[in-house]
Structure 1
Amino acid sequence: MIRPILSVLVLAAVTGFGSGSAFAQASAAQLSTTPLIERAKFFGNPTKAGSQISPDGKHLSWIAPRDGVMNLWVAPLSDLSKAKPLTAETKRPIRAMFWAPDSKSVLFINDKGGDENFLLYGVNVASGEQKSLTPFEKTRVQVVGISNNVKDRILVAVNNRDPKWHDVHSLDLATGKLALVFQNDGYSSFLPDESLNLRIATKSNSAGGTDFHTVTDGKVAPTPYASVGMDDVQTTRPLGFTTDGKSLYWADSRGRNTAALLEQDLASGKTKVIAEDARADITSALPDTRTGRVQAYQLDYLTNEFIAVDPKIAADLAFLKKQAKGAFWINSRSEDGEKWIVVIDRVIEPSSTFLYERKGKRLTKLYTSRPELEGAPLVPMLPKEIKSRDGMTMVSYLTMPKSAGDKTNAPVPMVLLVHGGPWARDGYGYNSVHQWLANRGYAVLSVNFRGSTGFGKKFISAGDMQWGRKMHDDLLDAVTWAVAEGITTRDKVAIMGASYGGYATLAGLAFTPDQFACGVDIVGPSNLFTLLSTVPPYWESLKQRFYKRIGDPTTEAGKAVLKERSPLYSADKITRPLLIGQGANDPRVNVAESDQIVAAMSAKNIPVTYVVFPDEGHGFARPANNIAFMAVTENFLGKCLGGRAEPIGASLKASSAQVKHGAEFSPGLKEAM
């Protein structure tokens, strides 16, 4: 099975605000025996991250600081003490990399200032020579295919000809030469086989779904061989071909609610179910590195687990599960399938990376990502099932302050931490924001509200046209649950989040102004009209889906919905403290989204604090900026909810932060400036 398309997760920081009382003083007294962990230990650079083994199994690459900026490093797997840096980035941290199939170079992507115009670079391991492999301005690369069988090239797609559509090219890894494979005028994605021949092209249809077209000798069949509507679009997709090209694996929800793992025989067209689960989608499989046949799959409901399909790998997974004593992930494997890079996450300690050798079942620790947190008072994450008012089950994650234990004897202030997307999900594992806030004295609750992915198509579709309505009701229901459980009291709950989580924060304060004590919005949209009119051009194929799930700005009914659901138009109703963080170069949620609501609130003399980072985009990638915003946030929360806070100190000056408005409303901010 071809290696999966590289996806870049642009990580957004998530944060909150606060006011004192006897309740808060009692919480502070409870915390007095728990050491305060420096925020830099949570949000500064990790020591090492993202390890990948070379296909030949001889080298290990990872991302680690060089002069304070995350860069690529490499070392012989047999002797990590011989590590050397491969890159010398001085501004933008590198956050995603992968090996070339010939094991001679490491490839990575990066953008400028958070604009998400990701370009592809390659570095030769032996010589250290670095090349720009997609040297185009205002262009975003997609990695279409990497094969174990084709060593000298990979497939990439770039939108340098037309910003809306990505043309597929074959990239010669030795010379850097790009050769056009397919000129794209309307297809959203492509799937090649192990020989790097394009076999499937996908195209959005007018129903908001996807049409799947076969590709033969570079030509797309005019009639789709399969189609799905909007209900199935986020739960049905081809995963990859077997090496012989005879079978195709699918994550497929057609005729069922959750995505099952299916195998399709391409000669007959017949499919068979490999695995399915009524609770959660199966969207990821572990293929044999030689044959491409599925050996195991991942199931992520309350927690992540690997389930074997092939008996030959069952013993390996059972051994790792026993040794991990917690969740584990398989980061990469050598092409012979014998050496694995495994990350073990026990939540109450920083994650560690291991080399697993199948022969002899040897597990060798390579490093801990954040050794400065070893021995720190980290706390468990508790998976919970919470019912919405209309009976839906919301998988959620609760973290309690160390002094409170698994179940508090007395309520503590709580932060409702809302994920972005909204077509994404919260999951189980070590979470820097959860741990940081719990250390400050707060319960932290993350809720997979309707519209979240991973729990079947009905759960996703239940969020259609429900921004600021039933999706928001789910968050309120989770707060009601927490109050009923004695975790918190209704007057001591803050709401915070990034992207959609930022929208939920604004909606919470504007639409239900008495429900939350305060809010922290990071890169959240305030005006759904301007949000939809400023999406990047390469999201053209997604527009119909956005219109059907959020609201259609081309119809009068859709316009009415968008206006009603835009917090900007209810900004005058906000009465509780609000902190906003924004990247100036954000291509997804334009800086104008934050500018607008700050202007509307200041015009009405409603207090709001607004911090802008001129060198960031959709979230804060540079640790200095992340630490600075967290410093402002925890002091803001301290006033609102009464928890502990490390002083802002010099963190603001070490960042690019520009306080555009309302420094006087956030404790210690004026002095720190």
Structure 2
Amino acid sequence: MSFSSTRLLTPLAACLLAALPLASLAHGHMKASASLTVGDTPLIPRAALFGNPVKAGAQLSPNGKWLSWMAPVNGVMNVWVAPSDKPGEAKAVTESKDRPIPGHFWSGNSEQVLFVKDNAGDENFRLYGVNVATGEQKDYTPFDKVRVRMMGGSTTRLDEVLVGINNRDPRWHDVHLLNLKTGELKLVMKGDGYAGFQVDDSLQVRLAARPNAAGGIDYFEVKDNAAADKPFLSTSLEDSSTGPIGFTTDGKTLYWMDSRDRDTTAVFAQDTRTGERKLIAEDPRADLGATLRDPVTGVVQAYAVDYLTNEWKFLDKRLKADFDWLQKQLGPGEVFVSSRTRADDKWIVGIDPVSKVAATYLYDRKAKKLSPLYVARPELQGAPLVPMLTAEIKARDGLTLPSYLTLPKGADTNGDGKADQPVPLVLLVHGGPWARDGYGYNGQHQWLANRGYAVLSVNFRASTGFGKKFLNAGNQQWGLAMHNDLLDAVDWAVKQGVTTKDKVAIMGGSYGGYAALAGLTFTPTTFACAVDIVGISNLETVLGSIPPYWEALKKQMYIRMGDPTTEEGRAILRAASPLYKADQIVRPLLIGQGANDPRVKQAESDQIVSAMKAKNIPVTYVLYPDAGHGFAKPNNRIGFNAITEAFLGQCLGGRVEPLGETVRQSTAQIVHGAEHLPGLVDATKK
């Protein structure tokens, strides 16, 4: 695992603030318009879009002997394993009964499947392993209230990995050597004060990163598991996107993504002996950092440029020939490789056609043979899925906002990418805010478009991936320029004839939930209604309750949001907090919250609901006692989306699949305001 996953910016993107799967006043007079637009398009069941996939996340063991994937066992996602030449003999090797396992990966020796799992969404992840031959499962980090981090694996020390564990001090992750066969943990280096480490293929810690007072990172060389006294490289907040990507297997080259002396990050190769750096790739439109690397040598073979769409650029001619051949076989869409054997003779490949069902294949490179493995959601085959359109929207200060628009089936009869007539619109805001929206199949876009809504997702300033000027333009602009970007995008949609000003809802999770609350408080009549999922209502309280292992992130967060340790900073945070303007809300609001959320705690939703109740302002508040930062369990995900669909239908007039049993089948507790949504009271009766 590369150090880039532990750089300050990347945890921030996973922070408050990450993207999520995701009272009522009647505004039903758009119903006829929405119905005409959708026409006779079949209703796609919510369960088909948001239920468990049949299979997902396929991986090959490094030796190519085994195939693995995620699939349900009694409705809960677990890990399955099969011989790579006999996929039909797959068996479940885990038995989680309460909460889905989020994903898995293979040990270097190809003997263990490894996975992490938390408890009821608390994000205290433990590392587990299952021996595929014996079925024996081990809890490698049997500590309470501890979050494990993977730090490195090896192509030579196959039975060992490096992991970070914060059991000594919850703020810092100490580096431990873990023997996967015996379970023995050996302390390698304490993590006091460090945001993360970079290790090489021999499992030696080579670099340490420590946040500095400028909001950037100081990088230190590490020898004999001790960091140097002085950093060899320091960045400021402006260049906090700069950081290592990883070493080649021989340790002689270290790849960096670097934004110094440029706007977007470029990829460099540094000679670790001489320090000489060579430019590998750059693009003025987008930050670079995603690469494909040789599984044996670790040499970069290709890099991704993700501006409006993701494009792979190849440095290795053989790899390009493989991708060209795969593209011809699989047709339109983005080809991606999710797993490669150590011999690089077999790949797991997929295709994302956006408006068709994605499929996954086993690719034999030598034989040039594609073998279908599965379609993740076969129930969507033949469903009326629709394209995603790209757009560059100008903000009021001239900043270009890369954005994505999805129109309902039948809304663009001549295929010119423009709506024939205005339809209701849902502004779907991503989390983070230090994250981004991207192009590709999007279940939420497909769901909402199928119900008769145009869907617009905007990469507002502070989003990552578009250069440091774009990112830093969002510093201390919560509720200000960041909010204005969303308003400017709505104005664009109105001018394009996509929608009308009075038929726009705002919806999102985490930061997107904050944006929904900001929409109803800072601009009370701009949006017809709002859906807030685990959103922040008070920036002061959310910064005061962040998990202890975010200690290394605090300085950067304070600079980007407002410093709660100073009066000036507290004033900025209060001014940007929707809680203090809750009495301004005049439009319908739906709130969904996980009781165990460690990032945006339940208090964030509780306090704005209390403020609204005190002023007799309607609000519907749904709490899930077994959920965290989002709804991982499919019954909760489907149940909340059912409530959301009914809410939007009442507000904007789109089509609604009946609530049915979905709410009862979830763990939803309607804390307040069930009466504001017709049918919700009955739908919750057991």
TM-score range, shorter chain: over 0.9
Q: Is the 8 A contact 1:46 1:369 kept in 2?
A: yes
Partner of 1:584: 595
| Paired AA for residue 311 in structure 1 | K
Unaligned stretches of 5+ residues in structure 2: none
Partner of 1:226: 233
Partner of 2:624: 613
Encode CA deviations 1:249-301: one digit per residue, 9 max, x unaligned.
Answer: 00111110001010011121111110100000111111111111111111111
Partner of 2:548: 537
Q: RMSD between aligned alpha carbons?
A: 1.7
Q: 1:2 to 1:471 in 2, by over 3 A?
A: closer
Encode CA deviations 1:602-640: one digit per residue, 9 max, x unaligned.
Answer: 110001000000001100000000011001000000000
Q: Is the 8 A contact 1:17 1:634 kept in 2?
A: no
Write the mapping of 1:84-103 to structure 2, written as runs, cut at 5 A.
84-103=91-110
Give the Cα–Cα distance (whole angstroms) in 2 for the partners of residues 639 and 23 of structure 1: 10
Partner of 2:352: 345
Out of 627, 639, 655, the position equivalent to 1:644 is 655
| Paired AA for residue 415 in structure 1 | V
Q: Is the 8 A contact 2:3 2:244 kept in 1?
A: no
Give the Cα–Cα distance (whole angstroms) in 1 for the partners of residues 536 and 28 of structure 2: 33
Give the 3-state SS of the residue equivalent to 2:470 in structure 1. Answer: helix
Partner of 1:322: 328
Deviation at 1:303, TM superposition (A): 1.0
Identity within the alignment, %: 59
Q: 1:5 to 1:80 in 2, by over 3 A?
A: farther
Q: 1:177 to 1:261 in 2, by over 3 A?
A: same
Give the 3-state SS of the residue equivalent to 1:476 in structure 2. Answer: helix
| Paired AA for residue 112 in structure 1 | N
Partner of 1:109: 116
Q: Is the 8 A contact 1:620 1:626 kept in 2?
A: yes
Give the Cα–Cα distance (whole angstroms) in 2 for the partners of residues 426 and 192 of structure 1: 30
Does 2:535 align with 1:528?
Answer: no
Q: Is the 8 A contact 1:551 1:562 kept in 2?
A: yes
Write the mapping of 1:500-579 to structure 2, written as runs, cut at 5 A.
500-579=511-590
Encode CA deviations 1:619-663: one digit per residue, 9 max, x unaligned.
Answer: 000000001100100000000000001111111111111000000
Give the Cα–Cα distance (whole angstroms) in 1 for the partners of residues 597 and 586 of structure 2: 27
Q: Is the 8 A contact 2:245 2:257 kept in 1?
A: yes
Give the 3-state SS of the residue equivalent to 1:73 in structure 2. Answer: strand
Partner of 2:142: 135
Give the Cα–Cα distance (whole angstroms) in 2 for the partners of residues 300 and 387 of structure 1: 19
Q: Which stretch shows the higher mean deviation, 413-422 or 30-39?
A: 30-39
| Paired AA for residue 570 in structure 2 | K
Q: Is the 8 A contact 2:28 2:651 kept in 1?
A: no
Deviation at 1:209, TM superposition (A): 0.4
| Paired AA for residue 260 in structure 1 | A
Structure 1 stretches of 4+ moved >4 Å: 1-22
Give the Cα–Cα distance (whole angstroms) in 1 for the partners of residues 5 and 154 of structure 2: 11
Out of 272, 291, 297, the position equivalent to 1:266 is 272
Give the Cα–Cα distance (whole angstroms) in 1 for the partners of residues 23 and 317 of structure 2: 48
Out of 272, 297, 300, the position equivalent to 1:291 is 297
Q: 1:4 to 1:460 in 2, by over 3 A?
A: closer
Number of residue pairs matched by the alignment: 672
Give the Cα–Cα distance (whole angstroms) in 2 for the partners of residues 18 and 443 of structure 1: 21
Encode CA deviations 1:193-249: one digit per residue, 9 max, x unaligned.
Answer: 11010001100001110011111111110100111100111x211011111111100
TM-score by length of structure 1 reads 0.98
Give the Cα–Cα distance (whole angstroms) in 2 for the partners of residues 147 and 594 of structure 1: 44
Deviation at 1:356, TM superposition (A): 1.9
Deviation at 1:311, TM superposition (A): 2.0
Deviation at 1:498, TM superposition (A): 0.2
Q: Is the 8 A contact 1:632 1:648 kept in 2?
A: yes
Give the 3-state SS of the residue equivalent to 2:572 in structure 1. Answer: helix
Q: Which stretch shows the higher mean deviation, 135-144 or 549-558?
A: 549-558
Deviation at 1:666, TM superposition (A): 1.7
Write the mapping of 1:383-532 to structure 2, written as runs, cut at 5 A.
383-405=390-412, 406-532=417-543
Q: Is the 8 A contact 1:16 1:634 kept in 2?
A: no
| Paired AA for residue 51 in structure 1 | A
Q: Is the 8 A contact 2:21 2:631 kept in 1?
A: no
Encode CA deviations 1:422-470: one digit per residue, 9 max, x unaligned.
Answer: 0000001111110000000000000000000000011000000000000
Q: Is the 8 A contact 1:250 1:261 kept in 2?
A: yes
Partner of 1:602: 613
Give the Cα–Cα distance (whole angstroms) in 2 for the partners of residues 670 and 659 of structure 1: 9
Partner of 1:379: 386
Give the 3-state SS of the residue equivalent to 2:284 in structure 1. Answer: coil
Deviation at 1:53, TM superposition (A): 0.6
TM-score by length of structure 2 reads 0.96
Partner of 2:284: 278
| Paired AA for residue 556 in structure 1 | E
Q: Is the 8 A contact 1:157 1:168 kept in 2?
A: yes
Q: Which stretch shows the higher mean deviation, 347-356 or 220-229?
A: 347-356
Partner of 2:178: 171
Out of 230, 238, 244, the position equivalent to 2:244 is 238
| Paired AA for residue 617 in structure 1 | G
| Paired AA for residue 587 in structure 1 | P
Give the 3-state SS of the residue equivalent to 2:120 in structure 1. Answer: coil
Out of 48, 57, 61, the position equivalent to 2:64 is 57
Deviation at 1:312, TM superposition (A): 2.7
Unaligned stretches of 5+ residues in structure 1: none
